[in-house]
Amino acid sequence: IFSDVMRFKAWYHAAPSFINLSIDPEKCNKATLFRALEENAAIVSACNLDLIAAFSTVKPDSLVFAGGGSKGKLWSQILSDVTGLPVRVPMVKESTALGCAIAAGVGVGLYDAMGTTGEKLVRWQHEYQPNPEHYEVYQKAKQDWQAIYADQLTLVDHGLTTSLWKAPGL
């Protein structure tokens, strides 16, 4: 349990926690803890996509994963498996400047639209496809995560644990 989806009416997070840790070093070690953090981030992303779909009816057909986290193969595949969507990783991972240039070009009429221009200018390194079996496992894990997270927030509400983060004024 790390961070929550964006709930702007009550914007705070539970205390960071690892649930169901084992003392067996084959089952619980640096690699499994790191993977758990990546899985948590992917579950939060999937939950945020669910929230967006609920209020906007927008459902993406793929995701773009850029930045430092996209440099490794595992997290990209986990994100694809958790969301059930293809995950596209660009050749250039730190592409903020390119995005700004495209936006500026659209703004001054040099390009027609952000999406089509991005498709023309961005080169893709890899596209990860979701594994349907893993997707089903992660759907159950996502439901469990949501229930556990709600209980973790209750612990914060009762002062038994400390929130990871709270918005100013809460």
CATH code of the domain occupying 12-89+126-165? 3.30.420.40
Question: Does 5 have pLDDT greater than 90?
Answer: no
The amino acid sitting at 167 is A
Q: Which residues lie across from 128 on neighbouring strands? A: 87
Contact between 1 and 149 (Cβ < 8 Å): yes
The pLDDT value given to residue 39: 97
Percent of the chain as helix, strand, coil, to the nearest 5: 50, 10, 40
Exposure of 148 by Cβ count < 10 A (0-12 exposed, 13-18 middle, 19+ buried)? middle
CA distances from 13 to 3, 77, 93, 139, 148 (A): 6, 26, 28, 22, 13
For residue 86, which of 120, 40, 132, 53 has the smallest C-alpha distance? 132
Structure-model confidence comparison of residues 128 and 16, the more confident one: 128
pLDDT for 59-107, tens place per residue? 999 999 999 999 999 999 999 999 999 999 999 888 888 889 999 999 9
Q: What is the pTM of this model?
A: 0.86
